[in-house]
Amino acid sequence: QSVLAQPASMSESPGQSITISCTGTTSDIGRYNSVSWYQQSLGKAPKLVIYEVDNRPSGISSRFSGSKSGNTASLTISGLRSEDEGDYYCSSYSDRATAVIFGGGTKLTVL
């Protein structure tokens, strides 16, 4: 199974900003604007926070933003709050896998 590369864990202080990276290849992130980001709190279902690289669903705070450069996508969370803690997953369509592929997830701790 193809997996996008994410840092396993990151931590930052409340009020600060953090950027989570997601690295793929020319078969996925590099070719398609189909990058999504999900937030998953402990014991809960994932929640979509960014889709199509930089679009926020209705109800998602403007503190969440997305971008892409080449084969790497990024999720930036500004003004970190304790409720931002959780696991963050990126995803993209892959024509090599002819499927949606996910990153391994990044555990975010807000100290």
Question: Going by DSSP bridges, is the β-strand pair 9-12/106-110 parallel, antiparallel, or unpaired?
Answer: parallel
SS3 string, 87-100, reads EEEEEEEECCCCEE
Span 17-46, contacts to another protein by CB under 8 A: 32, 34, 36, 38, 45-46
Q: Rounded to whole angstroms, how far apart are CA atoms 100 and 13?
A: 33
Q: Which stretch binds another protein (CB under 8 A): 12-20, 64-72, 73-81, 96-104?
A: 96-104
Among 65, 71, 74, 92, which residue sits at the site for another protein (rule: CB under 8 A)?
A: 92
User: Binding to another protein by residue 99, rule CB under 8 A?
Assistant: yes
Q: Which stretch binds another protein (CB under 8 A): 19-27, 64-72, 73-81, 86-94?
A: 86-94
Positive or negative torsion for Cα 104, 22, 19, 44: negative
Q: Which stretch binds another protein (CB under 8 A): 9-17, 18-26, 66-74, 84-92?
A: 84-92
User: Binding to another protein by residue 3, rule CB under 8 A?
Assistant: yes
Residues binding another protein (CB under 8 A): 1, 3, 32, 34, 36, 38, 45-48, 51-52, 57, 89, 91-93, 97-105
